[in-house]
Structure 1
Amino acid sequence: MTTILALAGTGIGVTYAAGGFGNTTLGSKLVGKQADGSYLTSNNQFVTPAGDTISEFGRPMDLAVSPDGKTAAAPNTASPGIVTIFDLVGRKVLQQYQPPSGTGNGKISNGGILYSPDGKHLWLAQTSDLLRFDVSAHGTVSAPVVVPLPGVSGRQAVPTDLAWAPNGTDLLVTLSGNNTLGVVDTTTNTVTRQIPVGNVPDKIAVVGGKVYVSNQGGRTAQPGDQTDDSYGTPIVTNGNQDSMASTGTVSEVDLSAGRQMRTFTVGLEPSALLASGSNLIVANSNDDTVSVIDTAKQQVGQTFSVNPAPGSKFGAQPNALTMLDPTHLAVSLARDNAVAVYDFSGAYGQPSFEGLIPTGWVPGSLYEDTQLHRLLVASEQGLGSVGPNGSVDEGGGPVTGHQVYNYEGTLQLVPTPSSRQIEADTQQVFKNNQWNGLLGRNQAGNGRTAPVAVPLHVGDPSKIQHVFLIVKENRTYDQVLGDDLRGNGDPAYAQFGKQVTPNIHALATRFPLIDNLYSDGTNSAEGHNWIDQAFTNSYLQQMYGNYTRSYGGDDALLNVKSGFIWDDALAHGKSVTDWGEYADGYKTASGQPVGGTWQQWYQDSQILEGKATGQLHVPIGTYQPTTDIPSLKKVLQPNFPDFQLNIPDQYRADLFQSDFATYVEKGNLPSLNMMWLMNDHTEGTSPGAITPSAHVADNDLALGRIVDTISHSPYWKNSAIFVMEDDSQNGIDHVDGHRNPTLVISPYAKRGAVVDTYYTQLNVVRTIEQILGLPPMNQEDMTANPMYDVFSNKPDFTPYTYLPNQIPLTTTNPQPNGLGGAAKVWAQWSAQQNYKSEDMVNMQQENRDIWYSSNGFTTPFPGDSKVLLPNQVPGADTAPTGDGDDG
């Protein structure tokens, strides 16, 4: 029998708020370290890690503790090394180790790190192999041995967890790409067996000699099931409009028989397992619940909620478990930056919520070190992107500053809190997450107030009836608007300043200049999900650094139960259309991918605009956008390209203008209009490709034309246009690498204002919801405040006329022939890169490529002593950001 128990988080929130323990005012605070020692993240949250904190450069993606409890190891995503060794006694980083080049595939997997029982070896999972390190008496590692892991049908094995078999010598490994549990003979370092389990196996636990495996993708699909793909595996969705995985299971495996004996149905995306006596505790990330399996009776005893946010339907993301003592369970809540503590009495006793412990940003691993009497908490994003500065050149000149990738991850050592301490800690978590007064801020309106630009309550009327959300690619605020001296910019960082982006500058001058808004995610895989779902789940978070399974948009396990913003709109009676945003392909009816050169597509755009004569190189309608999400398929505009850098944004602007003219003629413009306008992504110095500056200028001109079209239409009087980057990963900024050059364009946007209020992409989503009368989707947008101070209730209906480009849009990079020395080598390197999908290039090399091209290949990259060749760049053997189709 399964029972659902409700966490009394709402009552706690009200009590703390009434007691005067208010939220920390965000005001005009900048991301990063604050005067009180806290750190402000780019997710509208503060972090104040409890206990002693060890920080490292990079993101600790899992955690293993040595048998003596004195050292811990974590897979790391940063260039100092793929594994970090922590000295738990001395409270410091002992080592960040990088194996020699060519040791395995060099790409850490979705999880999996484990010490041998005698502590002499450390095992680490890479996406297609395991590494076994020797461990010295001091705890440092060396001498890696590679154990290959077989994949299936050209796909990598993608291990996600490691555990010792009951015999103490065989190593168990979940192979999520194969949907199997692998058995490794550690005397021969070979995979001896693979045992089929459920879909996308994740974690392993051993209880009473039995082996259990959590399956994030749930049960195996049967004939007649509705399914969607995840890395080649059909995931059961039961026809869900968002193609979300609809089952989650745990497999019981008999090693001696070599087969799965039974399965237990639990919550969605089970992402952690913990053995406690005969109980098996399961964290269900996509349900915000914990299930307890009674392994003796072979049944699920109970399932209880672990979401403490007041009034929130979804969003805590439980992703790790440990027992603090025989009767206290600790649950890591990734999106709450906290560990929840429960008085726990087994599979059938009702757990009692005791409180919260504050952690770093996105905790992901827990371990109770019984030797040191400390709870260990590893947080992937730790203190934020406050690590060492980096340097880039994207075509507008070299600069050095903050980058999104410069994360400083954390490992906390937390003593068992007293009842008084955990009460104070819980109050701190509520304050950090802006939860005090949350229910009051989210009271529904009655629909009878006078219309304003942005209503105080959802459901009250707005003067704005039509919203446009235009998503661009990868730029920081300083890269584009650093030369606007009215705001907090640095002109030295303006790589695509006014000459390249005249329209963005003109729009930021006429409408508000917003100089303190941040991207919530790190890259495009995360960014589009933050924008479209107001969320990034633990499954995607777990893939950071490899993205072997997917890079967003084409994987059923990326889609969360709170849905997409277009679902929210449609469910509340609003019409929607989408020009390419979140589409995952652009193909012919027979499935052929897009072809043609930039020059051919640019000629097509000239013909469509009446500036050239002749026939289109392919007729409009030859290619169509594709998606695996049924609800998105219903609102996608036909013909509009997805991520295709060989297609100018002028062509996209032409298609938009044609579609928009039809809406004007018929008087049926949708309420929510979304668009992907991505050519500011650029293709680097790839020979024959359009230069970075020309790419960005093309993007700027297309944006100007689109705004011009809307503002000269009848719909201008009640429209608002939001323009933002999906992320800010390819640039630097003097404040923080997440700072996003966002525009708000509307008759109701404050003319000429400089707005320095702290905002993130979540605030943009929340503002759109507030205008259209849509309730927040989950706790992330529920917590975000609408951008009231960007708007005025007194409109100015003056239209905008676009400015012509100052950079020729057809300027191309030189071919290797005729080049010499480093210029030729870099051109040959660039010619081999994949610019057809997002973020498929090693950014350490790409940034130097563009820097050198702007400096005649004679000036060293900042921090380097000489001009380097591609294979000499630090981190050259590190995989690109993405490893799949665009998202």
Structure 2
Amino acid sequence: MSPAGLALDEKKSRLYVVTKENNSLYVCDTKTEEGPGASAIVRRSLQLYPQPRKKRAVYLCLGRKKLWIYDTKKGLLTDSVATEDHPNDLALSKDGKWLYVANANSNSVTVIGTGDRRQAETLNAALFPDAPTGSTTNSVALSGDDKTLYVANADNNCLAVFDVSTPGNSRSKGFIPTGWYPTSVKTLGQKILVANGKGLTSTSNRIPADPERTGYKKSDPEPRTKSYSNMFTGTLSLINEPDESLLNRYARQVYLNTPYSKEREAPAAAPVPIKYVFYVLKENKSYDYILGDMPQGNGDTSLCIFGKKITPNAHAISDQFVLFDNFYVDGEVSADGHNWSMAAYATDFTEKNWPYNYAGRGGNYDFDGSRPIANPTKGFLWDYCHRAGVSFRNYGEFMDNGFPTVPLLKDSGNFCHNYPGWNLAIQDIYREKIFEHDFDSLVAIDAVRQLSIIYLPNDHTSGRSRGAYTPTARWRTTISPSAGLSNISRTARSGRKAPSSSSRTTTGGCADHVDMHRSVAYIASPHIKMHSVNHTPYSTSSMLRTMELILGLPPMSQYDAAATPMWGCFQATPDLRPYSALTPETDLNARNSANNASARLSEKFNFSKPDAAPDLQLGDIVWKSVKGENSAMPAPKRGAFVKVTKIDEDD
């Protein structure tokens, strides 16, 4: 059921509980601990409040663009008020006349008069006018005198402050910096309390001492196994209500902290001599795991377990074209990682719900496009292509059940029907052959899409489950198709104007000597500066911004708008020398046969969907599969990078 909001009517001994998994409102008697049952409600419910004077209505804050009102006497939903997208928190004035609703996907707050139940005004909480999605306005609180409204912007790491002494004619007062991803703001006297969902910085995690131990146990005072779903340590900020002078200084600091500005949304300054983009998505591994043995990059050979012998094409592509040794994924796990990879953003719903799902503490896996509440308001990369008239075709992404989960992808011309989604029983080499056949058929009729999105998930591996392909074989089969795609994109009729870009959704539980988010990225194109090494700090959003500029698309969020495009690795004059895919020296069909602790533990994991297996334990098993059963994977590092100095792309 996943309870998501509570409201208590002490006089009537009634507790109202909304649940987000079965879309219901439960009314319970606090004396008897029983209730008359549940009422079905529309969409997903997130919060509710009683009306203090009449005690007749409970306001249900739902996931899309509406606020519902429940009449406690009639036991019915009786009315609704329109809001902006994804209302998720409420603040009610002491006299009950004004209701303030945070809209996470719209960077805004809707002000509603409870008397006439109409919108009085909308407050833009973003740092700039007309900013795209990305402030993630997700909590509101009134000061003790109801004259000041504090608004938490989770993805801007700040509070927006409004003077609401005259509702309907409110004005902005400034901003206050907070910790990482503020999820709740409250007031107590002259204090402002802010809960920062991700604390101040990321932290190290430890490798389990006992390889037979699995996951989180409620009885553990301190779980030995720290996965992404339980490694963040939240913090509480206690802030004195600032006077005007201090608030002005706070606001200046907030603007210094953000890399986004409206100017960064500008399109490419000149036409780009590239027409086609092939975007290849893989699963979870760090830079050091794969390319840590390349001497020209910043790698640690002691952490490299899928080096040149196992992944010759990954090394050859990085050597012939460009090596990126300072590339970072924006996501933490596959749930948010695929959203970051396709939208440069993970919504408030996704960020707040994947940790519960991954820790096994309730909730469904709603992060593959199948639940509208989890999706960005304006959609994903293909939605932006559709609106801009840019042709696209999807191969496996958001197709974990074998069929597209997003309405636009279900159009028969927008996806390859024969291409499988997530299924680790299918080798990526087979996926590449399906893509090649489909691509050749499109070339024959001059219908190659401007954007092709290709998902190759084998590098997730099945651990050491007996009978499954070995981790090493998985890696050989997932890198070889990437090489084949690079070759196809360069040798077909579209090759002179087609880069093949490859990125990862997350890094999983893999060690890296710089930071656990550092991963590999590949770009193969005639317009790449051949045999180059690029140390510029890039991210998932950087790769998306580069593709957007090539295809003539606007940024999808404040993240890709602010990201540094990867122009530094391109050149105007094409180099048309082909890339020839290399054949791995070792067996692509090797299967696990050993009966050891890693095999027994692997057989307990769920590989039917991404990241259902604990990431760090799976990472440790993969490490042992290469380094030996008695070896220990080094603990990952996570860096606290405060400010990155912009590097001149000509340097």
Gaps of 5+ in 1: 1-156, 219-247, 395-400, 445-454, 587-624, 864-887
Pick from 228, 234, 240: which aligns with 1:409?
A: 234
Distance in structure 2 (CA, Å) of the matches to 1:309 and 1:502: 46
Residue 370 of structure 2 is aligned with which of 545, 549, 554?
A: 554
Pair 462,359 (structure 1): closer, same or farther in 2 beyond 3 Å: same
2:407 matched residue in structure 1:
629
Contact 1:204 1:213 in 2 (8 A): yes
**Relative to 1, partners in 2 of residues 1:648 and 1:393: Cα closer, same or farther, differing over 3 Å?**
farther
2:322 maps to 1:322? no
Structure 2's unaligned 5+ residue stretches are: 212-224, 358-362, 636-651
Where does residue 214 of structure 2 map in the other structure?
A: none
Partner of 1:837: 609
- Aligned with 1:361 (options 171, 180, 189): 180
Counterpart position of 1:270:
87
Whether the 8 Å contact between 2:44 and 2:373 is mirrored in structure 1 is no
Contact 1:322 1:368 in 2 (8 A): yes
Give the superposition deviation at 1:859: 5.3
Residue type matched to 1:424 in 2?
R
Contact preservation (8 Å) 2:289, 2:511: yes
Match of 2:431 among 652, 658, 664: 652
Cα distance change of structure 1 residues 851 and 714 upon mapping to structure 2, 3 Å threshold: closer
Q: Which residue of 2 aligns with 1:383?
A: 200
SS of the counterpart of 2:116?
coil
1:852-867 to 2 correspondence within 5 Å? 857-858=629-630
Q: CA deviation at 1:197?
A: 3.3
What letter corresponds to residue 162 of structure 1 in structure 2? L
Tell me, in whole angstroms, the C-alpha distance in 1 between the residues paired with 2:633 and 2:392: 46
What CA deviation, in whole Å up to 9, does each residue of 1:672-695 have, x standing for no partner?
111111111111111110111111
CA distance in 1, matches of 2:250, 2:623: 47
Contact 2:276 2:450 in 1 (8 A): yes
Letter matched to residue 442 of structure 1: E
Distance 1:182 1:432, change over 3 A: same
Structure 1 SS opposite 2:385:
helix
In the superposition, relative to structure 1, how do residues 192 and 402 fare at CA in structure 2: closer, same or farther (>3 Å)? Answer: closer
Who is 1:352 aligned against?
Answer: 171
Equivalents in 2 of 1:316, 1:715: separation in Å? 39
In structure 2, the partner of 1:667 is 446
Matches of 2:15 and 2:600 in 1, distance apart?
43
Match of 1:690 in 2: 469
Corresponding position: 1:510 with 2:288: no
User: Which secondary structure state, in structure 2, belongs to the residue aligned with residue 469 of structure 1?
Assistant: strand
> Do 1:216 and 1:268's aligned partners in 2 also have CA atoms closer than 8 Å?
no
Task: Report what 1:563 is aligned to.
Answer: 379
Aligned residue pair count = 610
1:678 aligns with 2:426: no
User: Which residue of structure 1 aligns with residue 641 of structure 2?
Assistant: none
Write the mapping of 1:97-108 to structure 2, written as runs, cut at 5 A: none
Give the SS at the match of 2:143.
strand
The alpha-carbon distance between structure 1 residues 853 and 670, as it changes in their structure 2 partners (threshold 3 A), is closer
Q: Which residue in the other structure is 1:334 paired with?
A: 154
Superposition deviation, residue 528 in structure 1:
1.4
Which deviates more, 719-728 or 166-175? 166-175
1:119-162 per-residue CA deviation (whole Å, 9 max, x = no partner) reads xxxxxxxxxxxxxxxxxxxxxxxxxxxxxxxxxxxxxx111123
- Asked if 2 retains the 8 angstrom alpha-carbon contact of 1:386 and 1:402, the reply is no
> Which piece of structure 1 moves more, 850-859 or 549-558?
850-859
Task: Report how far residue 301 of structure 1 moved.
Answer: 2.7
1:727 matched to 2:506? The reply is yes
Cα pair 2:46 2:60 within 8 Å, conserved: yes
Partner of 1:642, secondary structure, is coil
1:758 equivalenced with 2:532 (yes/no): no
Give the AA of the match of 1:528.
H
Where does 1:700-719 land on structure 2 (aligned, <5 Å)?
700-719=479-498
Say if 1:312 and 1:523 are closer, same or farther in 2 by CA, change over 3 A. Answer: same
In 2, Cα distance between equivalents of 1:553 and 1:851 = 32
- The structure whose residues are more often helix, as a share, is 2
Match among 512, 520, 537 for residue 741 of structure 1 = 520
Q: TM-score, normalised by structure 1?
A: 0.65
AA of the residue aligned to 2:609: S
Alignment of 1:214 onto 2:60 = yes
CA contact (8 A) 2:60 2:69 kept: no
TM-score of the pair, normalised by structure 2: 0.88
Q: Secondary structure at the match of 2:277?
A: strand
The residue aligned with 1:162 is 6
Task: Name the residue aligned to 2:649.
Answer: none
SS in 2 for 1:560: coil
Tell whether the 8 Å contact from 1:576 to 1:673 is kept in structure 2 after alignment: yes
Offset at 1:645? Answer: 0.8
Task: Tell me which residue corresponds to 1:600.
Answer: none
Cα distance change, pair 854–203 in 1 and its aligned pair in 2 (3 A): same
User: Is residue 2:271 matched to residue 1:461?
Assistant: yes
CA deviation after TM superposition for structure 1 residue 862, in Å:
6.5
The percent of aligned pairs where both chains have the same amino acid is 30
More strand by share: 1
CA-based RMSD = 2.7
The answer for the alignment partner of 2:262 in structure 1 is 439
**Pairing of 1:59-74 with structure 2 (within 5 A):** none
> 1:294 deviation in Å?
1.9
Q: Structure 1: which amino acid aligns with 2:611?
A: D
Quote the offset at 1:365 in angstroms.
0.9
Instruction: Select the residue among 256, 261, 265 that pairs with 2:78.
Output: 261
CA gap 1:467/1:628 in 2 versus in 1, 3 angstroms? closer
The answer for the alignment partner of 2:551 in structure 1 is 772
Q: Is the 8 A contact 1:198 1:217 kept in 2?
A: no
SS of 1:544's equivalent in the other structure is: helix
CA shift for structure 1 position 860: 6.4
8 Å CA contact retained: 1:166, 1:206: no
User: Which whole-Å CA distance do the structure 2 matches of 1:675 and 1:801 have between them?
Assistant: 20
Q: 1:848 to 1:754 in 2, by over 3 A?
A: closer
CA contact (8 A) 2:463 2:621 kept: yes
Q: 1:388 to 1:418 in 2, by over 3 A?
A: farther
Per-residue Cα deviation, 1:630-664 (whole angstroms, up to 9, x for no partner): 25534112211111111111111111211222233
Q: 1:472 aligns to what?
A: 282
Deviation at 1:425, TM superposition (A): 1.7
- Matched letter for residue 310 of structure 2: V
Deviation at 1:567, TM superposition (A): 2.3
Q: Deviations over 1:519-549 (max 9, x none)?
A: 1111111111112112111111120212323
Q: 8 Å contact 2:394–2:409 — kept in the other structure? A: no
Amino acid at match of 2:183: G
Task: For residue 300 of structure 1, report the CA deviation from its aligned partner.
Answer: 3.2
- Counterpart position of 2:388: 572
